[in-house]
Amino acid sequence: MGKSKSESRSLLRLIFWEGMALAGFLHVHLHPIANPFWDLNFFYNALFFLLAYPILYVYRWKFTDGCLSTILWPLSFLFSWGLGVSGYLWMTYILFVSGSPYYFSMMNHVIILGVLFAFIYFPLVQPILGTSKNYYTLGALVGVLFYSALGCLLGFLLGQFVDHKFGASIGLDSRRFLLWLALILIGTAIGALVAKRGEKG
């Protein structure tokens, strides 16, 4: 199955991700984070997602046409980008609670990695959340995820090759990580875009 009309959007997807966000919000609230600044970032990010996600979801579902759609468009635009920032912070938080050392890279290279994250947020994360302009059914999402995973693997292998050949000249481990991650994210984004073009075809 391919993309479906907005009227066919699933309430279950809204409930699922809102439930996940609520669970994450409670975890953030109860987890003792050492850095107070990022503590507040994660807390208010979780609260923002809980409020903004259902609003954007319902907007894409019920207000795609008409005068009200035009009036609400600036709000939907802000929420769309805001949820992209929120997704980045959620990913950072997951790395933190999992004890991954890459958490520090996510925190210290926000601008670079934020731009790279945008490459996968719009073609991949938005369809998964159900907040993209075109709603993707579960069957269509499987195709997008498959091609994204394939692109991710190719990006990983390319990053491995580049790191093996030129890693010594690149220098710092943080730079090598950023280059490797950039290739992975770009590969993932290309895979998602290929899947979308296949759906249009």
User: Which residues are CB-neighbours of 74 under 8 A, at least 6 positions away?
Assistant: none
Number of domains in the chain: 1
pLDDT in tens, 17-27: 999 999 998 88
3-class state of residue 136 by DSSP: strand
Average pLDDT for residues 9-36, to the nearest whole number? 85
2 or 49, greater pLDDT: 49
Alpha carbons 87 and 113: distance in angstroms, whole number: 12
3 or 30, greater pLDDT: 30
Structure confidence at residue 1 (pLDDT): 42
Q: Which of 85, 97, 80 is nearest to 39 (CA)?
A: 97
Instruction: State the average pLDDT for the chain.
Output: 84
Structure confidence at residue 107 (pLDDT): 83
**DSSP H/E element including 4:** strand 3-4
Tokens of 64: 């795609």
pLDDT in tens, 45-89: 999 999 999 999 999 888 877 677 777 888 889 999 999 999 999
3-class state of residue 135 by DSSP: strand
Its pTM stands at 0.81
pLDDT in tens, 156-192: 898 888 877 776 666 666 677 778 888 888 999 999 9
Residue 37 pLDDT > 70 = no
Structure confidence at residue 35 (pLDDT): 56
pLDDT in tens, 133-156: 888 888 889 989 999 999 999 998
Residue 176 lies in domain? 3-200
Q: How confident is the model at residue 127 (pLDDT cuts 50, 70, 90)?
A: very high
